[in-house]
Structure 1
């Protein structure tokens, strides 16, 4: 089969919006270019409901509510894809496939060994007229993998060629370690990214996020609280490993200490340092020979966070992924376009060296329009 255009859809653990990216690939699935992007915000009530569900995954919820959320999220994803296709004047025959990650509401790779992403792909296919591929995580988990992270395979395809680390700082942070061309690729979730930072500033100031990290910059970290957070057992686990907002949330923060510091800005700075330190320790341990760090996700837009990473990792050149030709805001959406291209051709999309799966597998199911 020839190359083609695929669209990737993703809403991550930060629930900022549904991101849609149209990408062109050659006949071998190699990256050609980003054709266009669109970001579709969730309705505020839906976003808050999803945030509450992420933070407290053991909250009782009815089957009626699960079905309602699946339909509502599917409609948001469908609208994001349809508006992008309209923006680019792309007709259904022009598009090979849509890859929809959906919205993760539950992820348990250790006990239940399954994951749940909502966002009915039938609605996306029907609204756009394009076959839609979804449910990317569970095939890997069925074969013993964590189902996450899935982006290292795409990072290898787009950013590979020289040794480096790619860090995706979304709600949770993860890294991909890329070595020489013949070296195995590996990666894992390192711990908190923006989730705790966003939750804290929303609670204290009613803001969605700390623009540029300026509120965190205004204070010094509480070293005792930081040390307590860094003692969390997850951070010391060896890879493969993955985590989520159901683990790292404000309830988790409250359990680190008997009393939080009185100054809310101090806590914001401490949480930023937690992201920096947990990410840096993972890079020091697993990528000691790397000399470059490329950041994508929302964390790439946090100027103070990027400064602190550069200060903490002076041996590395720290930049965002635009230095490698792909805007950091769109790496994940582009990654699911790439995974859709592979699934449509029956090619595996996971990396067992990353997820711990027993073998490579084709990811996701295909939904006809």
Structure 2
């Protein structure tokens, strides 16, 4: 087995996660992780770069290098914690920070694109480790959405018909210092798993995406279901000055406004058929403010409660649209939002619901681990996109290699 490090900075922009993994053709283990927040001034510029503005190329160029320095700090801290040297790491898989995602073009008639920054040349030079990066653009070059990319990883790691471990005890306590315990499911459906059953892996980051895995096969499907934490985080920060709603406690104080909920869920994106992907370019503060027109009398906490239920509903609707999903495992920051998880469980009454910790990987480590695995796949020349998920014309090896020498 070889060591790989996965770096993830998602649409929630809550920081950088670095995950250390040991990977071989028939074995995968996460060994630990570190998380570093973005410096406040860099975070402001990253948010600004998600929309057109003056001087954006210069802003992007400087942010591109600054993010790489932050990535390198996370890698070095992870190496120190595990007493490893740079030459013991086969490769770093770096997702980069998405600042634009327009796979269908930002205007009619223009080609689609996606853009992640965090210069891999700088990262390789600073760490002395080979870097695999730029995973999404090959898929878009082949006519795909470039997202989601994690279904292939979910199928490879979570696609076996193993029984979930019997406890939610934190098996990665050393890497969970900055996180609360994942929210536990409020129910378990007590029945034998059918031979034809499927397992859903739901990542709730800034955007929520779902992978539907047919157990003990190579079959997987998936897509972005809609906003995850991004709108709740925006609304929380605007009204409480907190970066996010810890445990969903603020949302729990509000009452769901049913007419507003209906208006939010009526958005055309939720009705689109896959393959589809989205980002904070679409589900933006401007999107939310437009939907709130005419709802000025709704209190801030009631809006937060409604956003929380909306997120649970569109995820649950995607799962309930099928009859063969019996197990649902949640990862990403949303797994720690107890109010969101309670709503999700209430809307998935026929499913066993738990966090991915039940399958051996802590929720906040799954996406970083996925990009460690994508680096492994590149080095082994394994195709890693799933055309039925992204819409690409064929499977492809994803990413490019950037060497430190």
Equivalence for 2:60? 66
* Separation (CA, whole Å) in 2 of partners of 1:195 and 1:353: 26
Q: Go from structure 1 to structure 2 and tell me whether the alpha carbon gap of 1:257 and 1:208 turns closer, same or farther (over 3 Å shift).
A: closer
The Cα of 1:263 is off from its aligned counterpart by 0.8
Equivalence for 1:143? 142
Report SS of the residue matched to 2:381: coil
Equivalence for 1:97? 91
5+ residue gaps, structure 1 = none
Report SS of the residue matched to 2:291: coil
Equivalence for 1:262? 298
* Separation (CA, whole Å) in 2 of partners of 1:67 and 1:194: 27
Equivalence for 1:32? 28
Equivalence for 2:82? 88
* Corresponding position: 1:44 with 2:43: no
Equivalence for 2:9? 11
* Corresponding position: 1:218 with 2:214: no
| Equivalent residues of 2:3, 2:22 under 8 A apart | yes
Q: TM-score, normalised by structure 2?
A: 0.87
Per-residue deviation, residues 123-179 of structure 1 (Å, max 9, x unmatched): 111111110011000001100110000011111111102421000000010000011
Q: 1:312 aligns with which of 339, 347, 357?
A: 347
* Separation (CA, whole Å) in 1 of partners of 2:120 and 2:93: 9
Per-residue deviation, residues 25-69 of structure 1 (Å, max 9, x unmatched): 12x1x4431122111111011112212332xx2333332222111
* Separation (CA, whole Å) in 2 of partners of 1:39 and 1:69: 19
* Corresponding position: 1:201 with 2:236: yes
Q: Between Structure 1 and Structure 2, which shows a larger proportion of helix residues?
A: 1
| Equivalent residues of 2:199, 2:215 under 8 A apart | no
Q: TM-score, normalised by structure 1?
A: 0.96
* Separation (CA, whole Å) in 2 of partners of 1:249 and 1:64: 23
Equivalence for 1:250? 285
Equivalence for 2:133? 134
Report SS of the residue matched to 2:305: helix
Q: CA RMSD in A?
A: 1.2
5+ residue gaps, structure 2 = 106-110, 162-197
How many residue pairs get aligned? The number is 362
Q: Matches of residues 267-278 of structure 1 in structure 2 within 5 Å?
A: 267-278=303-314
| Equivalent residues of 1:184, 1:353 under 8 A apart | no
Q: 2:372 aligns with which of 330, 337, 346?
A: 337
The Cα of 1:183 is off from its aligned counterpart by 5.8
